[in-house]
Structure 1
């Protein structure tokens, strides 16, 4: 599917800092599968954010300002985070906490990806946090892709017939929501 409006920018955020992260591989595979006219960029700097501290908000630390500017410049977000101890990872929660005090997420279309069907608590918590931040969760683009334990790499995910078809459909739903503006209450 090609999108005729201007070039669409989607920012992908992984809640894992692990080099061999399934969630990061999933996002990188989505970047490879993006249709013409759509750029998916995996943000590399969540690990550089200082721990959230309201006393530091006024000083606008550079890593925070950089993340915020990338979010604001994007048309939509893809978020994938593993589950640790029935919750969202600390790195993801920290990034979201830094964004609560600004309007970067307000009305932003978001797709929530889950690399493990067992990670239901983190997905529910992430959904709640994103909703409170006034983002628009695009249901048709929010999917669970059972790759945990599969040993699939980024290449394997992108080349897997069923998985790549699901990822393409999720991207199409997200792009369609952006194109139609359904995230603005239409």
Structure 2
């Protein structure tokens, strides 16, 4: 399972959520190249791909499933995360996101005005566009606050961890 976050912030709660999933799901791989991706340019979406894009596509192709976790910025997906998604659209490989089981975790704080619903609605649009197999029963809103993240960078809250285990199990049941 590939874990893809939408934040470049080092102390991001979304990254903490994905690190926790990595601990709970042996074999899960955390994609950490978000900040290295060049701005999407259709003219560059050909061989040879920019190396960070090639690494992203290789990671997606190698994964049996993808779990996303992203915050919301300015009422939508963070620009860097949307850029990552844009680079996946042109991948014509049979192991791209098309038909691949995917899900998302919404970890936005309870203080978030919209609960990041607009970002996740945008993510759903992109995932439908690329033909991903969205595993609805694995998609969850599990609010995480900074005080729930330990010094080790993991979420210790039992309810959140239980929700993450359930999401991973649902995604894994579909081949992930």
Under a length normalisation based on structure 2, what TM-score does the superposition of the two structures give? 0.89
- Is 1:76–2:65 an aligned residue pair? yes
- Equivalent residue for 2:104? 112
In the alignment, the residues of structure 2 paired with residue 101 and residue 19 of structure 1 have an alpha-carbon distance, to the nearest angstrom, of 29
| Distance in 1 of aligned mates of 2:146 and 2:15 | 15
* Distance in 2 separating the partners of 1:158 and 1:81: 16
Contact 1:33 1:158 in 2 (8 A): no
SS of the residue corresponding to residue 92 of structure 1 reads: helix
1:157 deviates by: 5.3
Q: How many residues align?
A: 166
Larger strand fraction of residues: 1
Partner of 1:39: 27
For residues 167 and 135 of structure 1, what CA distance do their matches in structure 2 show? 21
Q: Which residue of 2 aligns with 1:136?
A: 133
Alignment equivalent of 2:143, drawn from 136, 142, 146 = 146
- TM-score by length of structure 1 reads 0.84
| Structure 1 outlier segments of 4+, above 2 Å | 154-159
Q: Which has the higher helix share?
A: 1
Deviates more, 1:97-106 or 1:18-27: 97-106
